[in-house]
Chains A and B, each alone.
Chain A
Amino acid sequence: MEKKTLFDKVWDAHVVKSVQDGPDVFFIDKHFIHEVTSPVAFLNLEKRGIDVMFPERTVATPDHNVPTIDQDKTIKDKLSRMQVEKLRENCKKHGIDLHDLGSAHHGIVHVIGPELGITQPGMTIVCGDSHTSTHGAFGAIAFGIGTSEVEMVFATQCIMQSKAKKMRITVDGTLGKGVTSKDIILYIISKISAAGATGYFVEYAGSAIQSLSMEARMTICNMSIEMGARGGLIAPDETTFNYLKGKQYAPKGEAWDKAVADWKQLKTDEGATFDKEYNFDAEDIEPMITYGTNPGMGIKVIGNIPSTEGMEGSNKKTYLKSLDYMGFAPGEAIKGKKVDFVFVGSCTNGRIEDIRAVAGFVKGKKKADNITAWIVPGSREVEKLAHEEGLVKILEEAGFELRQPGCSACLAMNDDKIPAGKYAVSTSNRNFEGRQGPGARTMLASPLTVAAVAVTGEICDPREVF
């Protein structure tokens, strides 16, 4: 029998038809939409005079540009308000489920999908958002698409895509104290670069990956796109099944047993081959932080910013341009650098486990005076749990400001912007120029490192701040 990878199994089961010398007609089980990348798709659909083919396969929530204060009031920014209103109107017109602002399951689309049990092993999932790769943590093929493709899914529940090449990244061993899944993925990207997995779909494997919770696995899959990969996935196992059991949209009773039996088949066959493989040792991984303007520019928090030795031409120019933007010099240590803002949130690290980690760390401590600390839960559900577990109280006592769910300062489409020239250490996934506001200087790190930075006011090693 042909040996297949997990990716092959899920992909092949969703090909409606292969076009000769072209892409596959690829069937999509679940389609998530939000207010920013859907309006033009709906508009074009209307221009063609066609309906959404399977509206029950699409789920909507406004997350990208919603305010994170006063969510019960009318959105002040006119353009944001129009996008959110358009989403409401379009969902109503086409019979699409909407988890609206203020409703019990509102939140960042990649947080609510798993939380509600909509995301399940073996599915194909797309969304007009590159971090759709998050859902790969359940053994689904999940990736971001453009607005033209959003329109295709509305119209036909299919898109035209060529199958990606296959990569496996294996991380074996035990993680050290103070090292989290965010450090694993920042470490991997720093090793293989921000473009190192372009053209590939990545399977993460190995004992260090298997030992992670679902939340931690989502953090890893989430950032697959930051090394250029189309997506990342992890074989489902007991951790996955336990997470899903009892969730609102997860199968129940007999259907559950059957589903689990099917899901257990979703793993790479012994002897199946990949186009590329990497192996890393968990013991080599330490708390990480980025110092530049793409997520591949990461180092240990106790490390030095690379010197320009060996660089030349446009490579060196681009590197120096990036450091200039950040206000850093080649070769210097990152530890001890003053920070102005910390941001805990986003679909990378805005889940309850992340908030628990931060609260656990800052309990009984105070944030440094020079720090403005924002904590933005990924969803209403996360917010509710954070209150119930007493985490909000701990965080507020430490001087953190809790905001309402949304993408917030991850991409600064709303008012949550880092001012020009200021330094922010963030649990989000992108440190591009201006990502957190024009001129903002972003450094990416784990929730633990961010908590430590909040307390000391400067870049530090969380292992030394306990």
Chain B
Amino acid sequence: MAYDKFNVLTSTVVPLPTENVDTDQIIPARFLKATEREGFGDNLFRDWRYDVEGNPKKDFVLNDPTYSGKILIAGRNFGSGSSREHAVWAIYDYGFRCVVSSFFADIFKNNCLNIGVLPVTVTPEFAEVIFSAVEADPSAEVEVDIDKQTITLLSTGQSESFDINAYKKENMKNGFDDIDYLLNLKEEIVAFEKERR
């Protein structure tokens, strides 16, 4: 599915310093029953965000009006567990376009790149820089430039570069997905399949 192009994103940041946030926390299994991709943002971090009666839990960061923005920064090993792409749909639908962590789980990272959420892996030190800056000043802005592959804390100018492979970068910049690419290889694939029978 096509998504919005990603070039330069400048935004305030929502901090979630917890480590090992798994996809069951990002979106619990009981909210995976849809047959269309709609409304997943409402259940993002459902059990941390709401109590059993459905009332917002005050101490959870998404319920704290101090913090907002299109960038989520989380503790290490973010997105471990299930392969559910619904986790990234929830993040995207909620309004995030970029997730920053010092370490991502593999399938999660792939899923992000496939639907237009940019996963930015930073050093643990730089993650700390951002966490501290946002804690000191929730209006602190971060700029993510996909072309230059840099992430910058605007208030101090501290910056770091991040990795993304050239192919995925082009996709993200243009809002393309892999199917467009694969469909162009149809003949080669059909021939390959014949060989393997």
Contacts and interface: CB of A to CB of B under 8 A. Distances in A.
A79 interface: yes
Contact of A19 (B1, B110, B167, B177): B167
Interface stretch (A157-165, A271-279, A346-354, A374-382): A157-165
Nearest to B188: A16
Contact of B189 (A27, A44, A79): A27
Contacts of A16: 185, 188-189, 192
A323 interface: no
Given A195-B76, A420-B52, A79 B193 contact: no
B49 interface: no
A405 interface: no
A307 interface: no
A86 B166 contact: no
A453 interface: no
Given A17-B185, A198-B103, A432-B25, A44 B110 contact: no
Contacts of B86: 147
A39 B81 CA distance: 21
B167 A413 contact: no
A314 interface: yes
Interface in A1-42: 16-17, 19-23, 25, 27, 29, 36-37, 39-40
B81 A130 contact: yes
Given A29-B196, A194-B20, A145 B75 contact: no
A82 B35 contact: yes
Interface in B67-93: 75-77, 80-86, 88
Contacts of B56: none
B144 interface: no
Interface residues of A, number: 77
A86 B33 CA distance: 11
B162 to A, nearest CB: 16
A36 B31 CA distance: 10
Contact of B36 (A43, A64, A130, A145): A43
Contact of A148 (B1, B22, B75, B181): B1
Contacts of A64: 29, 32
Interface residues of B, number: 57
A143 B17 CA distance: 29
Contact of B186 (A152, A156, A438): A156
Contacts of A155: 179, 182-183
A229 B188 CA distance: 30
B165 interface: yes
Contact of B83 (A83, A128, A293, A434): A128
B81 A156 contact: no
A54 B193 contact: yes
A82 B178 CA distance: 29
Nearest to B184: A156
Interface in A373-426: 411-413, 420
B114 A146 contact: yes
B114 A22 contact: no
B189 A157 contact: yes
Considering the complex of A and B, which 3 residue pairs feature the smallest CB-CB distances, nearest first? A22-B167, A146-B85, A144-B83
Interface of B: 1, 17-20, 22, 24-25, 28-30, 32-37, 47, 52, 75-77, 80-86, 88, 103-107, 110-111, 114-115, 165-168, 177-179, 181-183, 185-186, 188-190, 192-193, 196
Given A40-B34, A146-B114, 14 more contacts: A22-B165, A39-B36, A40-B36, A77-B33, A145-B107, A146-B110, A155-B179, A164-B106, A198-B104, A318-B20, A413-B30, A432-B25, A434-B47, A438-B52
